[in-house]
Structure 1
Amino acid sequence: MHKVSLPLGMRDEFGMQAYKKHQLEKMLEQLLQQHDFMRIDTPLLEYQEVFADFDLKQRRAYHLVDNNEAVVLRPDLTLPIARFLATNNFDLPRKFYYVGERFKIAKSLSGKYNQMTQAGIEIVGYTSLKAELECFFLINCLSRKFLQGRVRIELGDACFADAVLDSLTKDAALKAAIKKQLYQKNIPQYQKMIAPFVTGKQGQFLQKWPRLFGDEATVLQQVSQFALPAAAQLIINKLERVAHWLKQLPEQPVSLDLSAAPPQTYYTGITFKGFSDDISDYLFSGGRYDHLLESFQKKAEPAVGMGIDLELLTKVADFDIPKPKADLLFFEPEQLSEVVQICQQHPNLTLCLERDLQSAQQTAATKHVKLFRIDKEGKISDAT
């Protein structure tokens, strides 16, 4: 007997949930196309080397072998686009969007699937912060359209931790270890690692650092009490400026997290997440990664990207789903030519496949739709 269970972490999609997801995808595509984003589709399989700068072990990717070459089911959709841009002669700047499947093996007992549908955008070739602002604009649009404006945008910066720690030590391993404990909010271990530095100029800030997250005005007020290294203060100034712009969007709450890990290791500037207080996971995630293309070509290109968890957005989005009710057309097999003509004239009809008229009438009554039939003259008539 054939095995009928699915591989661990996979799922089937059907019915209204699949239909809702498809409708949401269509509306998202319409929005992005209105704003001059070009669709790009990359294959599920990529050479493992494409993700050489990506922590495949941490991401728990699916590894395969193709003609003795190591390949993976893509655990990320940004790096394949970087690979595409490096191997195709595209004029930049350009804005892309994608919708596709991403595969990564979820941690045991996490309750998460290993396959998820992700949508996203890549804005390549723009150095201005306006690229980040377009991401925030789109999040705000989707928040108001589908979530009654409940999405909070949380800002951070991928370089902030290094800007602070570079002023304390040149030991790369120590800096990496401090960042790990900081990002994981492992306060006891973090306190042990910063102990040699708490008597210095940054001591008070270091002790407060893991708790510097929340409402942007509160966090900025707390940070203003400390004398930060010049590079770190420049980042704070930039975050304050961006937060000020963000608050001009309608119904848009803003927060800061100065102790959050960047979404990926390749981020180089402002990072952000979009979440709702009644949802444990974030719906949107992204930021700036100006050196990403250097992995594939000599010339770097400025870039900002954003991923959208389409599975989660489908689950929580609140919008009217069109549910067209098609009336039924009962026919005999020899009437197929008439069926074609009638369905062209009446596009709201769908074919009734019951064997006999009585069964067709029962089906129409169950579905609360009208039933029509084709008479001997090839004309349509009411058969309800």
Structure 2
Amino acid sequence: MKWNRSLPNGTKDKLFKEAMQSYHLESIVNHHFEHRGYQRIETPLIEFEEVFEGMDQKATSRYRFFDEQGRIVVLRPDMTLPVGRVVSTTGIIPPVQLFYSGKIFRVIKGHSGDYSEQLQAGMELIGYESLKAETECLINAVSISQKCGIADFQIELGHAAIVESIVVELGLSNEEQQVFAQILQSKNTPNLLAFLKKYETHKLYPFVSQLSRLFGDWEILAQARQLTNQPAILDAISEMEALIAQIHQVYPEQAITVDLGLVRELKYYSGMTFKGYTDQSAGSFFSGGRYDQLLTEFSVAPVPAVGLVFYLDKIYSIINRQTGWENPVETKTLIHFEEDCLQAAEALIASEAASRLSLHQNLEDSLQYAKQWQIPQVVHVQASGVKFYQVEDVTNE
């Protein structure tokens, strides 16, 4: 069987309107960061597989193949780790504020509805340990979301240090950590209490036993603070409270929720994490967080860093469900010209809005093309002058 008329699983062609709107979304994000003073960075689509060991994901989730020397390379499944590689190997001196856009590839199995090929755009703040970096990420998140056309959404905050502190304090084995993470992700209180049975006398029990319920409105942080005196957890709660206060200075009406039992999806997250959700989508349309240990993946001393990424394909789908896209600028005038009138035709296209040249040899073909693509007007440029045709009138003759 020939496969030259088919696409690999998880990929798709974008045509006309969808392709234009995806390009438009990418441009919005890029122009925003450029205007805000960020430096653009681009990394190769193909990287050595070792670059992505910090994702803590199975190799089967990557598109893997061999280069000419027999080394394993992959289509990049993530944008943050390649940026970390660049910073650690090129002599860039932090702090730096970077932005990027491009495609990533992850093997999607089952029927999730997601594509293996995904368009992303985002920012990386390398070398900033202050909470101002997280604030900058979320200010950008709200501003860009609004510019893209998503007005009604909520930000969910988590903190990697909370679950990590519990794992250390309880001394959980690797197997127990996996079970604990699954319980937290499912928010299953009976299973959580059963798992914690042997820890009922532990000083963290009052807090951990409530983890499956410690999510929702950000005001739940005050309740969580009363359940523990563990310093790392209290510090994490304080950071979340401070970040919320900062965001509400600029966007006082922005909906913000918290999840103290949030399990980090990527191994490199070390602090605050955040996601953006709307009612029109099951998954998040942006995400990010702090990853102060990222550069240690490349045998470099730790450098504080925070990042934010937008999933542009998901944003496109949300807007389609939410309000629909405005129609892209359509051609209103098709300019048919005789071969000795190209200069006049070019002058006309420069002055006539929403116009383009016809590349047909005969006027009849240009008129038929305009009818087919619903272009209302054809202008015929010839040495003797310019003649206008209304396609609807021509059709009725």
TM-score by length of 1: 0.91
Q: Aligned in 2, Cα 1:39/1:5: closer, same or farther, shift over 3 Å?
A: same
Return the alpha-carbon distance in structure 2 between the equivalents of residues 271 and 345 of structure 1: 50
1:35 — aligned with what? 36
Return the alpha-carbon distance in structure 2 between the equivalents of residues 71 and 48 of structure 1: 5
Secondary structure of 1:105's counterpart equals: coil
Return the alpha-carbon distance in structure 1 between the equivalents of residues 388 and 249 of structure 2: 58
1:81-160 equivalences in 2 (<5 Å): 81-147=83-149, 149-160=151-162
Deviation at 1:342, TM superposition (A): 4.9
Deviation at 1:174, TM superposition (A): 3.4
Say whether 1:369 aligns with 2:371: no
2:335 — aligned with what? 329
2:367 counterpart letter in structure 1 = Q
Q: Aligned in 2, Cα 1:125/1:369: closer, same or farther, shift over 3 Å?
A: same
Say whether 1:360 aligns with 2:362: no
Q: Aligned in 2, Cα 1:143/1:178: closer, same or farther, shift over 3 Å?
A: same
**C-alpha contact 2:329 2:354 (8 A) present in aligned 1:** no
Return the alpha-carbon distance in structure 1 between the equivalents of residues 186 and 267 of structure 2: 15
2:334 counterpart letter in structure 1 = L
Deviation at 1:63, TM superposition (A): 0.9
Q: Aligned in 2, Cα 1:200/1:191: closer, same or farther, shift over 3 Å?
A: same
2:393 — aligned with what? none
Worse-matched range after superposition: 322-331 or 32-41: 322-331
Worse-matched range after superposition: 141-150 or 68-77: 141-150
Q: Aligned in 2, Cα 1:177/1:111: closer, same or farther, shift over 3 Å?
A: same
**C-alpha contact 1:20 1:321 (8 A) present in aligned 2:** no
Alignment length, in residue pairs? 382
Worse-matched range after superposition: 275-284 or 179-188: 179-188
1:190-269 equivalences in 2 (<5 Å): 190-217=192-219, 219-250=220-251, 251-269=253-271
**C-alpha contact 2:211 2:260 (8 A) present in aligned 1:** yes
Q: Aligned in 2, Cα 1:58/1:248: closer, same or farther, shift over 3 Å?
A: farther
Worse-matched range after superposition: 106-115 or 69-78: 106-115
**C-alpha contact 2:28 2:148 (8 A) present in aligned 1:** no
Identity %: 31
Q: Aligned in 2, Cα 1:80/1:59: closer, same or farther, shift over 3 Å?
A: farther
Q: Aligned in 2, Cα 1:105/1:170: closer, same or farther, shift over 3 Å?
A: closer
Return the alpha-carbon distance in structure 1 between the equivalents of residues 327 and 41 of structure 2: 27
Deviation at 1:13, TM superposition (A): 0.3
Worse-matched range after superposition: 313-322 or 207-216: 313-322
2:17 — aligned with what? 16
**C-alpha contact 2:273 2:288 (8 A) present in aligned 1:** yes
Say whether 1:296 aligns with 2:298: yes
Q: Aligned in 2, Cα 1:272/1:376: closer, same or farther, shift over 3 Å?
A: same
Deviation at 1:326, TM superposition (A): 4.2
1:351 — aligned with what? 357
2:90 counterpart letter in structure 1 = N
2:394 — aligned with what? none
**C-alpha contact 1:155 1:271 (8 A) present in aligned 2:** yes
Worse-matched range after superposition: 368-377 or 23-32: 368-377
Deviation at 1:146, TM superposition (A): 3.7
1:80 — aligned with what? 82
1:62 counterpart letter in structure 2 = Y
Give unmatched runs, 5+ long, in structure 1.
none
1:382 — aligned with what? 388
Deviation at 1:376, TM superposition (A): 3.0
**1:286-307: per-residue Cα shift (whole Å, max 9, x none)?**
0000110111142221110011
Worse-matched range after superposition: 64-73 or 341-350: 341-350
Return the alpha-carbon distance in structure 2 between the equivalents of residues 321 and 124 of structure 1: 39
Return the alpha-carbon distance in structure 2 between the equivalents of residues 281 and 333 of structure 1: 55
TM-score by length of 2: 0.88
Return the alpha-carbon distance in structure 2 between the equivalents of residues 94 and 324 of structure 1: 41
- The two structures, once aligned, show a CA RMSD in angstroms of 2.4
